[in-house]
Amino acid sequence: MINRLADWLDHRTGYRDLMREALDEPIPGGARWRYVWGSTLVFTFGMQVLTGFMLWFAYSPSTRTAWESVFFIQNEMHFGWLIRGLHHFTAQAMVVLLVFHLIQVVIDGAYKAPREVNFWLGLVLMQIVLGLGLTGYLLPWDQKGYYATQVSTEIMGSTPVIGPQLQQLVQGGPEYGHHTLTRFFALHAGVLPALLVAFLFLHIYVFRRHAITTKLPHRAPTTTFWPDQVLRDGVACLIVLAAVGFLAVWRGAELSAPANPGEPYEAARPEWYYLFLFRFLKFEWVSHMGEVTGLGEAFGAVVIPGALMGLLALMPLIAHIKGGHKFNVAYLVLVIFGAAGLTGLAIQEDWYSSSKDGLAFRAAVQQAHVDGERATELALSPSGIPPAGAITLLQSDPLTQGPKVFRTYCADCHQPASMAGQFTAAAQAPELADLTEREKIRFADRTWITAVLTDFRGHFGALANIKAETGSPAEQEARAKAAEAILNGGSMADWSQTNAEILKTSDGGANLKGIVEFLYAQSGKADAVLPDDPAYARGREIFENGLTLMQGDQQVTVDACSGCHTLHVRGEADEAFSGGSPILTGYGGQDWLRAFISDPAAHYGSNNAMPGFATQLTPQEMDMLVRWLTGDYYRAAMAVETSAPAAE
């Protein structure tokens, strides 16, 4: 039955001849492992077609949907992360296999007459594969792809004469926009794969016409493609699959933060197989030669690689000259070693060197990971991605923006301990927060309040570094004077010194804990105790009336806080203490902090050594800073807590 069906089909299509033609290709000298490269390339291309079509089903090319749709593939769709990971790593495997294929072809002399045309077809295929890598890198529209591709298109634009036109054609306009993505996508998923298929067809056709090049045709009996070579090819493909599968599971394809032209990306690097070119362009002499020749960046990025590639294309002709083949092999080895050396140099400088640039690069990569993960976390939050796109997620995220504002305006005085050595002058104020451990805010937490109460001079010790040198502006002089007064003449410093031991030791520390809890509760933070907590009540009592107790035979008193401080107790309608400044109403909370940063003197009166920031910070910056320092931002763990009861 099957045979009759097969006969019927063969009669009408002649498929058996085709199969025979395909499978019974004779291989003189027997099947060999060194012939597998071409097949692995066909296999990896097949993988790219399969995974590429899958991604296409869910990808949306526009500046407001590209990152978003890739995010959805990566985080919401079944095996989306794996499909994307396979596509990502198979693309890189193709480049590696291409190089192996080229090496084997050159060493075996398979490029020589009459196979010149096929060699050139192969070189065209190589350019297409590199073009696919370049266009694919931009498509997720994340910071990494955006800035790496910027460099490529700027290089294109720096080409003499036709540069600007060429760049606009590729980008779809003078700058990146929706059409940059539609064009890159059309190239990546349409034009280039179609060209690749066409050239691959020609490549295989011409290859079959000339048959395989064998250096030792009598090394073993002649065999056929099926099954001896197919088995070797199959094993090689399986190894490639295992390798990319392993990488896709182990590392995965990263999705960095959504592309943002206003947000610098200091970890910008091209895909690793372009690193040699990247490093080459960093040589000063390359730029200098560009200037001298009037070719600009195109000298290093287009002319030199073009010349190297041109010489590669001339190989079949050079081989006619005596010793030409040896020259070709030596040349290829030299180019590959050169590229490998430059790649190694770039990797060494970025990842292993302890130079300033290396450290900065690694810090930037770290930051890029953090931003990318945060963007995903926010996109997964119940509020999701707004119609304006994922670019807004990080822009309005206090956890991301607060530390940046802090770094610009606050960190020089309030130096984070983890950044020791990165500042020119000494810290002038207590540490408030850390820029690497962003969730951990020291400012106004329980430890902070305890330190202010029991070790005031130590806690504010950095204020001693505020110095008025000769010729300082009046403002600096006033700050220095205030700092001196706070540390040495201030009544709070004395209160703290007098009462620290009493508070710490009396009643097992319960009095201290009381004041701390009472003050902490003024912020309205979620983890504060409620007014019916005994600690709160005790703290409130001490704040209002102070403390009198017996130590041995001696009666000691702790002066009431309300004697000096103004405080409108949170949650109490009319009860207010009006002792004076610093004002503690809502201490550590958002309103208090906002008002305080804007104009510290209004809160601290003359006891203030901090400049006001009302005019320096934009409302948005102030909002981000204050919300970060008070912990008011989205946390993934929070969503789990609140959604759990709803699910029941």
Q: Which residues bind another protein (CB under 8 A)?
A: 19-20, 24, 26, 43, 46-47, 50-51, 54, 57, 65, 68-69, 71-72, 76-80, 82-83, 86, 221-224, 226-228, 230-231, 233-235, 237-238, 241, 245, 379, 383-387, 390
DSSP state at residue 9: H
Give min distance, CB of 220 to another protein, in A.
10
Asked if the bond preceding 619 is cis, omega within 30° of 0, the reply is: no
Q: How far is the CB of 57 from another protein (least distance, A)?
A: 7
CB of 81 to another protein, least distance (A): 9
Whether 259 contacts 142, CB under 8 Å: yes
Give helix 275-282 / helix 324-347 axis angle, nearest 10°.
80
**Residue placing its CB nearer to another protein in the complex, 234 or 579:** 234
Nearer CB in complex with another protein: 68/297 = 68
What is the closest distance, in whole angstroms, from the C-beta atom of residue 140 to another protein in the complex? 13
CA distance 610 to 598: 10
Closer by beta carbon to another protein, 19 or else 307: 19
Comparing CB distances to another protein, the nearer of 26 and 338 is 26
Nearest approach, Cβ of residue 191 and another protein (Å): 23
Q: Report d(CA 393, CA 122) in Å as an integer.
A: 45
State the maximum Cα–Cα separation within the chain, in Å, rounded to a whole number. 118
**Local structure of 224: helix, strand or coil:** strand
295, two tokens: 């070719």
Angle at 228 between CA 225 and CA 230, to 5 degrees: 60
Helix axes 230-250, 36-56, angle to 10 degrees: 40
Q: Which two tokens stand for residue 90?
A: 């198979």
| Minimum CB–partner distance for residue 21 and another protein (Å) | 11
Q: How far apart are CA 294 and CA 304, in angstroms?
A: 14
- Measured from the CB atom, the residue of 236 and 487 that comes closer to another protein is 236
Residue with smaller CB distance to another protein, 54 or 462? 54
> Which CB, 374 or 565, lies closer to another protein?
374
Task: State phi, psi for 587 to the nearest 5 degrees.
Answer: -50, 130
- Other C-beta atoms closer than 10 Å to the C-beta of 323 total 10
Nearer to another protein, 26 or 177 (CB): 26
User: In which region does residue 586 sit, left (phi positive, over 0), alpha (psi from -120 to 50) or beta (all else)?
Assistant: left
Q: How far is the CB of 640 from another protein (least distance, A)?
A: 15
Shortest distance (Å) from residue 19 CB to another protein: 8
Residue 387 Cβ, how far from another protein at the closest point, in Å? 6
CA 113, 114, 116: angle at the middle one, nearest 5?
Answer: 70
Nearest CB to another protein, comparing residues 110 and 390:
390
Question: Is residue 515 a contact partner of residue 453, using CB atoms and an 8 Å limit?
Answer: yes
Apex 476 CA angle, 475 and 481, nearest 5: 100
Tokens coding 611: 């400049």
Output the smallest distance, CB 116 to another protein, in A.
Answer: 28
Residues 141 and 101: beta-carbon distance below 8 Å: no
Q: How far is the CB of 132 from another protein (least distance, A)?
A: 18
Residues in the chain: 648
Three-point CA angle 576, 579, 583, nearest 5°:
80
Which two structure tokens, joined as six digits, stand for 639?
């969503």
Q: What is the DSSP letter of 134?
A: H
Query: Closer to another protein at the Cβ: 242 or 576?
Result: 242
Give the residue with the Cβ less far from another protein, 65 or 159: 65
